[in-house]
Amino acid sequence: MTTLAYDLAVIGGGPACGPAARACREAGWSVCVIESGLLGGVCPHTGCNPKKVLMGPAEAVAMARHLAGKGLAGEPRPDWPAMAAFTRTFTEPVAPWLAGDYAKRGIDVLHARAAFTGPRTLRAGEKTIEAKKILIAVGATHQRFDFPGVEHLATSDDFLALAKLPARIVFVGGGFVAFELAHLAAACGARATILTHGDAALRRFDADLVARLVAATEAMGIAVRLNSPVARIDQESQGLCVSGPGFSLAADMAVNAAGRPPQLAGLGLEAAGVAATRAGITVNDQLQSVTNPDVHAAGDCLDAPYALTPTADLESRVVAANLLGTPTAIDRTGTPSALFTQPPLAMCGLTEADCQARGLAYVKKEYDLADSFPWQRLGETVGWSKTLVSPDDDRILGAHILGHAAEELINVVALAMRQNLPASALRQGIWTYPTCGYYLRYMF
């Protein structure tokens, strides 16, 4: 067995890997990245990017429907096989490009599944790696179920790689993946059902805006069923039968969208003395393992409040700063989240329920986007915002936007929150007219 020695070994080659691997290599460290799948991780291959490419035609269809009778004649028709082919033009070049980039920089890439054999040693295929520092960036994986017929449950990876869209699709779960993929499927002609076991969907978002989005979701023909835990899936002659207490649904595909736990099984954390819980690796605010000072972690495998590409990137940069001698605490202030439904829902900061739970005083302002020119001219009928501002110092506590362009508008709010600008900065901004952004002044 060959033994290789590095200053830094990174386990996992996704968004949480790149910034730290590149920064340490630029500082003269020897660096290796160990990746068991495709370089680039979930985001460019089976997550954000393929999903958003597929959504392009779906967005065009929704826009055309809203403008029907308002000057747009005819209805565009999504062509799933062509959408899938277009998507591959984005996904397929990523891993070869990254391999070339790492080679050019002198970062070694090992294609193997890594596991710790000691505090600073790893086994990766036939090789032993000894590293002075190790970054765990292994991401998350699909929720495990053990009900009868679980083998019929597909993953979001399977859905995003479909060559042809099935007619009836059930999404098990009521979070980001279930809502986004159900909207995509419905816009492309499938009958979609969202089944979640709890009594609320999209818990991360503000309940009032979620209620409006759920109504819009149902108006699109998507069934949203709460309190519906799946108990079994049976393969029948006409397709699948997805059932649980009080329900039984015929489907051509059932997709696991029930959350993504950290991918820690088989990683040998106990051999390295790295503490973790079911929520992920336990770190201090410098993203260093609380039990092994030579190990850091970043991205979806962390026990952290967000599991997003921008936060994986931020965490990787914070790890790099700490490894390279600039003590840096993670600061996630002003992290925006966007749910890419029709219309999109975006948020930054606290929900109203968070403010109440923390006993924070707040001034709430609600604004009807659908009653404003940029949304009306597009025939949009669903839109709302809720902002929460401190009465003491005009600090923005939270912002929630449902409507066309919400995912872009929230970036402006996120910048203001990250730079600790008061809400008056948004009220007094000079914005291009007639854009959605112009209306930020009325939202605060």
Ligand X SMILES: NC(=O)c1ccc[n+]([C@@H]2O[C@H](COP(=O)([O-])OP(=O)(O)OC[C@H]3O[C@@H](n4cnc5c(N)ncnc54)[C@H](O)[C@@H]3O)[C@@H](O)[C@H]2O)c1
Binding residues for FAD: 52, 300
Report CA-CA distances (Å) from 413 to 123, 389, 395, 410, 416: 45, 12, 12, 5, 5
- Residues 8, 20, 24, 34: which binds ligand FAD (CB under 6 A)? 34
Binding of ligand FAD by 41 (CB under 6 A): yes
Closest-approach residue to ligand X (CB): 175
Q: Count residues near ligand FAD (CB under 6 A).
A: 34
* Interface stretch with ligand FAD, choices 33-41, 63-71, 190-198, 215-223 (CB under 6 A): 33-41
Q: Which helix (H) or strand (E) holds 363?
A: strand 363-367
Backbone angles phi, psi at 329, to 5 degrees: -90, 145
Q: Which helix (H) or strand (E) holds 57?
A: helix 48-67
Rounded to 5°, angle at Cα 174 from 178 and 188: 30
Cβ(269)–Cβ(283) below 8 Å? no
Site string for ligand X, 196-225 (x = CB under 6 A): xxx--x------------------------
**Could you tell me the smallest distance in angstroms from the CB atom of residue 305 to ligand FAD?**
12
Binding of ligand X by 259 (CB under 6 A): yes
Q: Count residues near ligand X (CB under 6 A).
A: 23
Distance CA(19)–CA(299), nearest Å, equals 12
Sequence letter at residue 437? G
Report CA-CA distances (Å) from 32 to 56, 107, 186: 36, 6, 43
- Residues 22, 133, 260, 400: which binds ligand X (CB under 6 A)? 260
Among positions 25-84, residues that touch ligand X (CB under 6 A) are: none
Distance CA(23)–CA(323), nearest Å, equals 10
Binding of ligand FAD by 341 (CB under 6 A): no
Binding of ligand X by 180 (CB under 6 A): yes
Binding-site positions read 52, 173-180, 259, 300
Give the one entry of ligand X, ligand FAD, none that residue 175 binds, where binding means its C-beta sits below a cut-off of 5 to 8 angstroms depending on kind: ligand X
Binding of ligand X by 272 (CB under 6 A): no
Q: Which DSSP string do the residues of 303-350 spell out, in sequence order?
A: SSS---HHHHHHHHHHHHHHHTT-------TT-EEEE-SSS-EEEEE-
Binding of ligand X by 338 (CB under 6 A): yes
* Closer of 46 and 351 to ligand FAD (Cβ): 46
* 10 three-class SS: strand
Give the one entry of ligand FAD, ligand X, none that residue 13 binds, where binding means its C-beta sits below a cut-off of 5 to 8 angstroms depending on kind: ligand FAD
Backbone angles phi, psi at 308, to 5 degrees: -130, 160
Give the one entry of ligand X, ligand FAD, none that residue 259 binds, where binding means its C-beta sits below a cut-off of 5 to 8 angstroms depending on kind: ligand X
How are beta strands 114-118 and 108-111 bridged, if at all? unpaired
Binding of ligand FAD by 12 (CB under 6 A): yes
Cβ(160)–Cβ(54) below 8 Å? yes
Binding of ligand FAD by 31 (CB under 6 A): no
Binding of ligand FAD by 240 (CB under 6 A): no
Report CA-CA distances (Å) from 49 to 44, 161, 188, 360: 5, 12, 18, 37
Binding of ligand X by 95 (CB under 6 A): no
- Torsion-angle region of 125 (φ positive above 0: left; ψ -120 to 50: alpha; else: beta): left
Binding of ligand X by 177 (CB under 6 A): yes
- Residues 40, 41, 173, 280: which binds ligand X (CB under 6 A)? 173
Binding of ligand FAD by 263 (CB under 6 A): yes
Close Cβ partners of 44 (under 8 Å, ≥ 6 residues apart): 50, 90, 91, 94
3-state percent breakdown (helix, strand, coil) of the chain, nearest 5: 35, 25, 40
Binding of ligand FAD by 138 (CB under 6 A): yes
Binding of ligand FAD by 345 (CB under 6 A): no
Binding of ligand FAD by 304 (CB under 6 A): no
User: Where does this chain bind ligand X (CB under 6 A)?
Assistant: 172-178, 180, 196-198, 201, 229, 257-260, 307-308, 337-340
User: Where does this chain bind ligand FAD (CB under 6 A)?
Assistant: 11-17, 34-37, 41-43, 47-48, 51, 113-114, 137-140, 156, 177, 263, 267, 299-300, 307-310, 312
